[in-house]
Structure 1
Amino acid sequence: MVIAVAAGVVALAVGAYFLIGGGGGSNVADDGAHKLITPATVLGEYKKSTKSNSSPEDKESLKAAEKEGVRNAKEVQADYEVKNEANPLAGKMLSFNGLYGEIDDPEKVVDSIFAFVKTKSKEGKSEDGTGELQGEPTAYNPPELGDAVLKCQQSKSKADPAAGTPAFTINFCVWADHSTLGIVVPLDMGSVLTGKGGSPEDAASLTAKLRKEVRVKA
């Protein structure tokens, strides 16, 4: 999955994957128990893929979050794509990993994931295609978010001529509230292959919209 991409691209947990948008974790309102689902279609055009790109790092990052405060956690994972047979470069992908349970401090859980990703990134080697994290996680609060913590960060990967892969940039975002945690990595193939990767602001907005569709009352 793209999260697996982040594991290789960002050398991170949650694959090309893995936050505050509503104040500190203690300021996030608790709107009751919710769970996460993986619909066949999300955001109007993304269809669930039959293949999973999840990696061992994805599992590790979720375990790190669970350890930091997700009680009675249940895991969900799905990859989505928008295919364009006429122009593959116009295709898009989206990787989604999540946990739902009980979360006392959403911001603490979100920060634990970014800390884990940072550690994995430092352990990465340039020859394995690992990307380099850019700056620090940035908080976003798009209108669609609601009561949750949301942060995003970028990773840039160098070109690997031997593997035939160009340099590219990815965004990965994480949200958390009092019952759900989501890690989202959107990829626009055209942007990725031209080395741009899209803006973190757009990634944050997409993540907030996805949260509204995959988070339902338990």
Structure 2
Amino acid sequence: MTSRRVRSGALAGASLLALAGPALAGCDSADRNSATSPTAIPSATTAASPSPTATANHYRLTTPDTILDGRYKKAPGEDKDVAADQLSRATLLLGVTNGQRVHAVYTTELRKDMSFTGIWGRVEDPERSVDMLFLSSATAARKDKRLSTFTWSGSPQRLTPDGLDKDTVLKCQGTRFTLAGTDDKPTHIRTLCAWADHDTVGTVSLADASFARYGRDIPLDRAAELTAGLRQDTRTTVPR
């Protein structure tokens, strides 16, 4: 099977993925999937009150040159600026005050990659922020004309990998999609994880050719472990 990669902002919309640039890079498998309606995620109409222990901008997000003990290296190329109104809409959707954005793509020599986008500021309700990320991503995928099919694998699962703070919400879910206008229409398999705490919100879109070549999703516990490691390496203390 010939392996190919795709540069595509496949999930565009009001979520963090809209701010991510190339949020989805393709990995091949032999299967094709028709688009189905993703699982709706309930969202609160009003944000919950901040945790008494939450502090404004106690942590920020950065994009170091390497993460996860040097196994993943930041891909070359500078991140493009995002219009102020677009960032404002995203932070309003996610319940983030004074939000600032970062983005980077990390890759390995073994054709694994992690597309990371984060916003840091004051996060009112971490679980609501994560749920809104998945819900808005699903809405955006249905509307994206660059996709001919899109489907979720299962529903978002809350996971607690080692090293994750007890007040941090992390959920993962598999995705499969085909791009419009491609000759053989391969199915691309990626796993989307999102986390939120009271200072940071992040999305990580993961691909691993060693799983995708067999039409398999990355196991969610493995995706969560990688996401938690990325969070640890990109989240730094703001000097008081």
SS at match of 1:7: coil
* 1:87-142, Cα deviation, whole Å (9 max, x unpaired): xxx321111100000111111111111110121233346x7344212232111111
Match among 144, 162, 167 for residue 143 of structure 1: 162
Supply the AA of the counterpart residue of 2:24: A
1:42 aligns with 67
Match among 184, 190, 193 for residue 170 of structure 1: 190
Match among 92, 106, 109 for residue 112 of structure 2: 92
1:87 aligns with none
Change (3 A) 1:100 1:171: same
Supply the AA of the counterpart residue of 1:184: V
Q: TM-score scaled by structure 1? A: 0.76
* 1:181-205, Cα deviation, whole Å (9 max, x unpaired): 1111121123223322311211111
Change (3 A) 1:49 1:60: same
Superposition pairs of residues 58-137 of structure 1, within 5 angstroms: 63-83=89-109, 90-124=110-144, 128-137=147-156
Q: TM-score scaled by structure 2? A: 0.70
Q: Contact between 1:103 and 1:178, CA under 8 Å: does it hold in 2?
A: yes
| Deviation (angstroms), 1:5 | 5.3
Match among 2, 7, 12 for residue 11 of structure 2: 7
Q: Contact between 1:156 and 1:168, CA under 8 Å: does it hold in 2?
A: yes
Counterparts of 1:136 and 1:28, CA distance in 2:
31
Give the gaps of 5 or more residues in structure 2. Answer: 26-40, 42-47
SS at match of 2:192: strand
Report the aligned-residue RMSD. 3.5
SS at match of 1:144: coil
Q: Contact between 2:149 and 2:179, CA under 8 Å: does it hold in 1?
A: no
Supply the AA of the counterpart residue of 2:188: F
Give the gaps of 5 or more residues in structure 1. Answer: 84-89
Change (3 A) 1:129 1:194: farther
Superposition pairs of residues 19-38 of structure 1, within 5 angstroms: 30=54, 33-38=58-63
2:230 aligns with 210
| Deviation (angstroms), 1:163 | 3.6
Supply the AA of the counterpart residue of 1:49: A
Counterparts of 1:49 and 1:137, CA distance in 2:
28
* 1:160-212, Cα deviation, whole Å (9 max, x unpaired): 79444522321100000001011111211232233223112111111011111
Higher helix proportion: 1
SS at match of 2:217: coil
Select between 165-174 and 101-110 the one with higher mean Cα deviation: 165-174
2:35 aligns with none
| Deviation (angstroms), 1:51 | 3.2
Counterparts of 2:53 and 2:144, CA distance in 1:
37
Change (3 A) 1:210 1:216: same
Counterparts of 2:140 and 2:91, CA distance in 1:
14
